[in-house]
Structure 1
Amino acid sequence: MSRDVAVLGAGMHPWGKWGRGFVEYGLAAARAALADAGIAWPDVQYVAGAGTIRNGYPGFIAGATFAQALGWSGARVSSSYAACASGAQAIGSARAQILAGLCDVALVVGADAAPKGFFRPVGGDRPDDPDWLRFRLLGATNPLYFALYARRRMAVHGATPDDFAAVKVKNARHGLANPNARYRKEVTPADVRESAVVADPLRLLDICATSDGGAALVLTSMDFARRHGVTDPVRVSALSTVTPTFPKTVLDLPDFATDSALTAAEPGRPFRSAIADAAYEEAGIGPDDLSLAEVYDLSTALELDWYEDIGLCEPGGAEELLRSGATALGGRIPVNPSGGLASFGEAIPAQAIAQLCELTWQLRGQAGGRQVEDARTGIAVTQGLFGHGSAVIAIR
C-alpha cells in the first residue's frame, strides 16, 4: 500500500518580531496554504494544530484554536506538542488520518509568538520539570548545550570557529532570496567573529534567534489530488518520529532537557541518525538520492553534526563537505536553501511545517533566487524535546 500523501498547498506568515498574537500568524499561513491549494476552508475535513505552550490555553489546543479562527465548520481536530518537532507530529497526525481513509483533505497549522531572548522554562517554579531543573541547578541554558556540542566537534573532528562562521555566512546568503525570512542581510566571517560571545566558542551570530511566525500545509490523499486536477504533486513519502533505543546504555545522564535523550544503544551512533534512517527506510531511498536538505540549525556547529547524522558524509567529514561548497546553493547537496534558523529564528511549532513548505516550493521549482536545480527529493529534520526528533521526506 502506498504511504504517500499529496502536498497541495503551502503557506507562511513571514518570520520576525511582530508583537501580535500567534493565532493571527497561523490564520494568515492557513489562508495562504488554502489559496495555494485551490481549496475552500469548508472542504477541509481535518485540522492538525502544532501546539505552543508559551501562548496560554489556546496554544495547548492549537487545532481547535485555528479551526475556530477560520470559522467552525465541523472539521475534526487534533493538537500535538513535541517542542521543536511539534509541527512534524501534526503533519504525522494529518497523514495518518488520510492514509487510514478517515479524511481526504487536512490542514496542518503551526504558529508562535516567542518571547524575547533565550527560552526559559514555562510556568514558574516547577521542580518536576527537567527544563526548570537544568536552568536552576545547572545554569544550563540552550546555548550552553550548543556550545558543548561545538566544543566536542572541535576536540573530536578538528572543527574551528571559522567553520562555524562559514555555516552562518552560507545560510545568510541563502536567506537573502527568501521573502519569509526575518534576516535578509549578507554576513561576513568577520561579522560572526566580532559578534558577542554567548557561550564559548559560539558567538551571537552562531546561535538562532527567537521569532514570531506561522506556517501551514494542505495535505490530501493522492486520489483527491488527481480529482482536483493535480497529477504530479509533491508527496510526503516518509515521516519519522522515532524514540531512542535504550538511550542510557552509553551514558547514564539525568533527564535534563533535550540532549539527555540523544545517546543510543550503538556506540558512536547518535539518536538523530536513527530518526533519518527510519525515514529513508520508509521512503525506500538513501542519502545519495537527496537533492536538498533542511536541517534544524539551532547553532552553526549543530548544522555540521546534521550533515553526518543524515548521511551526507562520514563522521568527521562535515567540515570538508562544508569547505568544498557542496552544501551551498549550486553545490552537490544544498543544505538549508531557505536560509535555515540562521535567517528565520525559531518559531517552535511552525518550524517543521515551514521546512516542508520549503521542500514543497523547491520540488515544484517555485523557490525563486534560492532554487535548487532539478530538485526531486528532499529531507527535513528537527530535534525536539526528550526524543521528539523528526524527519520528513518529500518527493516529486
Structure 2
Amino acid sequence: MPDTNNRDIAVLGAGMHQWGKWGRNFVEYGLVAARAALADAGVDHRDVGYIAGADTIRNGYPGFVSGATFAQALGWSGARISSSYAACASGAQAIANARAQILAGLTDVALVIGADAAPKGFFQPVGGERRDDPDWLRFHLLGATNPIYFALYARRRMALHGATLDDFAAVKVKNAKHGLNNPYARYRKEVSAEEVAASAIVSDPLRLLDICATSDGGAALVLTSMEYARRHGTSDPVRIRGLSTVTPTFPKTVLDLPDFATDSAVAFDEPSRPFRAAIADAAYEEAGIGPSELSFAEVYDLSTALELDWYEDIGLCEVGGAEELLRSGATTLGGRVPVNPSGGLACFGEAIPAQAIAQICELTWQLRGQADGRQVENAQAGIAVNQGLFGHGSAIIATR
C-alpha cells in the first residue's frame, strides 16, 4: 500500500485521443485514451481498483456520471468509481480523487479518464433558465459571452502592463510552432504574426487566432502508489508531487484588484493573493519546490493574453514582466522555461473534462523524454494549471 511518509504518487501510464471535431460520442474518445494509458502502463483494466471520471455536462446523463459510464464501457470490473465536475478543472478534480484513494490505502491502481464531444461555436450556459446563476446572467443580461470575458482581461493587461497586439500574436506564433510535432493536437500548422493580425476580430482586441476553439478529445492516466510502481518494475516513475484545487481568498476572488484593505474600513493582516496565483502557490508548497525549479509549464491559454497573465501567476516573472519574458524567448522551446510545449489550447482547443488530464499526459511525456519534436531539454519538473468556473481552479506539479 502507499508510503504514508510522503504524498507522491506515480504516473505509470498516459494516453490520449486526438483532438478535433469528429462528431462521435464522448465515450469513444475516453475509451481510446484509457486503453492507450493502460497499455502504456502495462496494466490490465481488471487490476484497476478505482476509476475517476471527469464529467462532461453537455453530453447528457452519461456525461454527468462519467465514472460509471467509462467503467461500464471498459467492461465492469468491480472498481470503485467517482464522477467530478469542476468546469475546466474537472480533470484535475478527478486526479485529486484518485490520488486520495491511493494515499488512503484504498487502492494501488487508479484510472482517470476525461473526454468531451463539444458543440460547435462558443460554450453557452447549461441547465436552462437559471436566473440566480451569475454565469447565466453574464450571458443574458450583459451579453458577455466567453470571448468578451477574455477580451476584458486582454484590455486590462494592455492598460496595466503595456501589452500590445504584437505580444498577443507572438504567443499564438510560439504555441503553433510548438504544436507542430504533437500528434494529438487538432491544429498543426505554423502561424505568422501577420496571419493573427489579419484574422477576424471576435472581441476587440482579440482576433480569431487569439482565442482557442472548442474541440472533441479525450485523455487518461494510470496513477499508482509508489510501492506498486516499484513492484511493477518502474524504479523512477514520473510522480505527482503537488496538487492544488484551492478556492479564491477574499477579497481578491477574481482579479488582482488594488488592495482592498487600503480602500475600505476593513483591515486584513496581509494582502490577499490573486486567485490563479494562490492556486499555484498551494501546489508549490505541497511539492516543496518553487518556480525557479520548473523546467517547463502547461498553462490554460483560453486566449493569448491569458497566457501572459499565467506567467506572472505561476511565478515565472514579476507582475508586469510577462511581455519581456515572452520577448526574450524564455518561454519558447529552447528557452529557460518553455510554456505550452504541447501547443496548448491554441493547438488543441477545449475539451473541458479532458484538458487538465491531457496536460499531465504532456508533463509525463516531457519528463520521460518522450515528447518527440517538442522535447524540453533535461526536463525535471513541470507545472500544469487551469482556471474553472466559480472558483474551480487547479495546479499540478510533476517531477522525475
The TM-score by the shorter chain falls in which range? over 0.9
Distance 2:83 2:376 in 1: 33
1:321 aligned residue: 325
Aligned equivalent of 2:232: 228
| C-alpha contact 2:176 2:190 (8 A) present in aligned 1 | yes
From 35, 42, 56, the equivalent of 1:38 is 42
Distance across 1 between alignment mates of 2:324 and 2:274: 20
What residue ranges of structure 2 are gaps of 5+ in the alignment?
258-267
Corresponding position: 1:178 with 2:182 = yes
Match of residue 165 from structure 2: 161
Taking structure 1 as reference, are residues 202 and 44 closer, same or farther at Cα in structure 2, changes over 3 Å only?
same
Aligned counterpart for 2:316 among listed residues 303, 312, 317:
312
Kindly provide the CA deviation profile for residues 292-350 of structure 1, in whole angstroms up to 9, marking residues without a partner as x. Answer: 00000000000000000000000000000000000000000000000000000000000
Q: Partner of 1:65: helix, strand, or coil?
A: helix
TM-score, length-normalised on structure 1? 0.95
Distance 2:270 2:67 in 1: 38
Q: Are 2:123 and 1:119 aligned?
A: yes
Match of 2:69, SS? helix
1:170-192 deviation per Cα after TM superposition (whole angstroms, max 9, x unaligned): 00000001000000000000010
Alignment of 1:189-338 (within 5 A): 189-247=193-251, 269-338=273-342
What amino acid is the match of 1:243?
T
Q: Distance in 2 between matches of 1:357 and 1:48?
A: 16
Asked if 2 retains the 8 angstrom alpha-carbon contact of 1:247 and 1:265, the reply is no
1:3 equivalent in alignment to 2:23? no
CA contact under 8 A between 1:245 and 1:265: conserved in structure 2?
A: no
1:347 aligns with 2:351: yes
Alignment partner for residue 363 of structure 1, among 345, 356, 367? Answer: 367
2:373 counterpart SS class: helix
TM-score (norm 2): 0.94
**In 2: Cα distance, 1:337 partner to 1:266 partner:** 36
1:394 maps to 2:398:
yes
1:347 alignment partner AA:
A
Report the Cα distance in structure 1 between the residues aligned to 2:346 and 2:122, rounded to whole angstroms: 15
SS of the equivalent of 1:108 reads strand
Structure 1 Cα separation of the partners of residues 11 and 18 of structure 2: 20
The Cα of 1:265 is off from its aligned counterpart by 9.3
Distance 2:14 2:180 in 1: 20
Q: Which structure 1 residue ranges, 5 or more long, are not aligned? A: 254-263
Q: Which residue of 2 aligns with 1:256?
A: none
Superposed CA RMSD in Å reads 1.6
Match of 1:257 in 2: none
1:362 Cα deviation after fit: 0.1
Tell me the residue number matched to 2:262.
none
Structure 1 runs (4+) deviating above 4 angstroms are 248-251, 264-268
**How far 1:244 moved relative to its partner?**
1.2
The CA distance in 2 between the partners of 1:154 and 1:208, in whole Å, is 20
